[in-house]
Amino acid sequence: MENSLVIFSKAALMLAEADTIQKAHELKDLALTAADWARRKGMGKKVILHCRSYALEAERKMGEMLAVTDRSLGGRPNKTSDSAAENQYPGDTGLFTLAELDLTKKESSEAQLIASLSREVFDQLISDLEKITRKVIIREAKERKREEECAAKIATGHDVKLPLLLSLKAGDFREVLKDVSANSVDLIFTDPPYSEEYINLWNDLGEVAARILKPSGMLIAYSGNEFLPQVLDILRKHLTYSWLAGIYHTGGHIQIWKHKVWNQWKPIVVFTKGKEGEHDWYLDMFYGKKGDKVAHDWAQGEREAAYYIEKLTNEGDYVIDPMCGSGTIPRAAFQLKRKALGIDINAENIEIAKGGLNGKTSD
């Protein structure tokens, strides 16, 4: 190990010469091993921080290489025949999968996030590693990436011309929907905020749904688990309970500290206006995929939105999302040839939603 520390004194040169993902990965591992050794031998904080900084430098370089391969947004090099991927960085002509590189999708994704930081910002962060951890650096990279992508979507959204079958409006749904005729809507599909302070929104949502839904029209809505009993009780005052569906979290578990629960699913409440109408059979537990959290913190997956819209409505039906966030549900409805209206109280979200529709708005 002492030899490793001696070698590590030449880390800057080794980093400069690391021209493949494998070499950068090995250098990162070497730096972390050296940091652990220095800690256990009591070699002092300065040595440990030096090793940690070079581990992050190596990870950044690894992320730069991964980012220039195809499918980099998926956190892995481009798939070719036999599920292999070509590392396209100069100096490497081999074919490798992430497994062969001894990398997980998460490691690849996080390395690319670190690499997305400007040199100036990265240097500033690693200059204070006594206080700043790798987790903090990744969080900072995520936030900066989100800000950049949201700004790009907002800028694009200003120029997007919406088609006749799709409307996106900024405002309070309780006011905006006053202009929607009674008994005219086939499906309300939405994702209200889950915390207790917003419980009253469910009563307003139920009142509006009872007025604008067609007889046998449906309201389906994502709900948190903690206040689900209250949500069901409130909606029963206005509509008829049909079923409780759910989305299984395929992206991992959520810790509910208050109840010491590893939460694996999210409820979808299903209500009708009067007697339930005709619709296709649908699964009451759907394996969803992560939504575009860059566009909105609460964004749901478009695949699951499209699934329920397709099963519960027909082409030409009217679908409304009164709290549409970044526009996942109205976008899915429009692409399925439904008439769609998305409303959000935050005007910036509407511009982000429009930006997300760029290139997908042909009638």
The whole-number pLDDT of residue 86 equals 44
Using the predicted structure, report yes or no on whether residue 270 has a pLDDT greater than 80.
yes
- What are residue 262's DSSP bridge partners? 255
Q: Are 289 and 303 in contact (CB under 8 A)?
A: yes
Three-class SS of 124-186: HHHCCCCCCCHHHHHHHHHHHHHHHHHHHHHHHHCCCCCCCCEEEEECCHHHHHHHCCCCCEE
The whole-number pLDDT of residue 247 equals 92
pLDDT tens-place string over residues 43-59: 888 888 888 888 999 99
| Confidence band for 100, pLDDT divided at 50, 70 and 90 | confident
- Detail the DSSP E strand segments found in 223-332: 240-249, 254-256, 261-263, 265-272, 285-288, 318-321
Q: Name the more confident of 152 and 190.
A: 190
pLDDT tens-place string over residues 80-98: 333 334 444 444 434 567 7
Report d(CA 48, CA 224) in Å as an integer. 43
Using the predicted structure, report yes or no on whether residue 313 has a pLDDT greater than 90.
yes
The whole-number pLDDT of residue 79 equals 42
Using the predicted structure, report yes or no on whether residue 289 has a pLDDT greater than 90.
no
Q: Measuring CA to CA, which residue among 231, 296, 238 is closest to residue 272?
A: 238
Which helix (H) or strand (E) segment holds residue 18: the answer is none
Q: Measuring CA to CA, which residue among 72, 70, 73, 66 is closest to residue 21?
A: 66
| Confidence band for 158, pLDDT divided at 50, 70 and 90 | low
Q: In this structure, which amino acid lies at residue 7?
A: I
Q: Is residue 233 packed enough to be buried (19+ CB in 10 Å), middle (13-18) or exposed (0-12)?
A: exposed
Go through the domains of the chain in sequence order and give each one's CATH number.
2-132 (no CATH), 162-356 (3.40.50.150)
Report d(CA 207, CA 191) in Å as an integer. 16
Helices 328-335 and 302-312: crossing angle in degrees, nearest 10, is: 50
Q: Measuring CA to CA, which residue among 36, 34, 15 is closest to residue 25?
A: 15
Mean pLDDT for the chain? 83
Report d(CA 150, CA 172) in Å as an integer. 22
The whole-number pLDDT of residue 254 equals 81
The whole-number pLDDT of residue 286 equals 92
pLDDT tens-place string over residues 56-86: 999 999 999 888 875 543 444 444 333 334 4
| Confidence band for 20, pLDDT divided at 50, 70 and 90 | confident
Q: In this structure, which amino acid lies at residue 62?
A: M
Report d(CA 273, CA 98) in Å as an integer. 51
The whole-number pLDDT of residue 9 equals 55
Report d(CA 292, CA 301) in Å as an integer. 7
pLDDT tens-place string over residues 174-231: 999 999 999 999 999 999 999 899 999 999 999 999 999 999 999 999 999 999 999 9
Q: Which residues of 116-146 are buried (b: 16+ CB within 10 A; e: fewer)?
A: bbeeeebeebbeebeeeebeebbebbeeeeb
- The sign one gets for the Cα dihedral 178, 179, 184, 189 is negative
Weakest mean pLDDT among 182-191, 233-242, 286-295: 286-295
Average pLDDT over residues 337-342: 97
Q: Are 338 and 317 in contact (CB under 8 A)?
A: yes
The whole-number pLDDT of residue 104 equals 86
What would the DSSP string read from start to end of 55-79?
HHHHHHHHHHHHHTSTTGGGTSPPP
| Confidence band for 23, pLDDT divided at 50, 70 and 90 | confident
The whole-number pLDDT of residue 299 equals 46
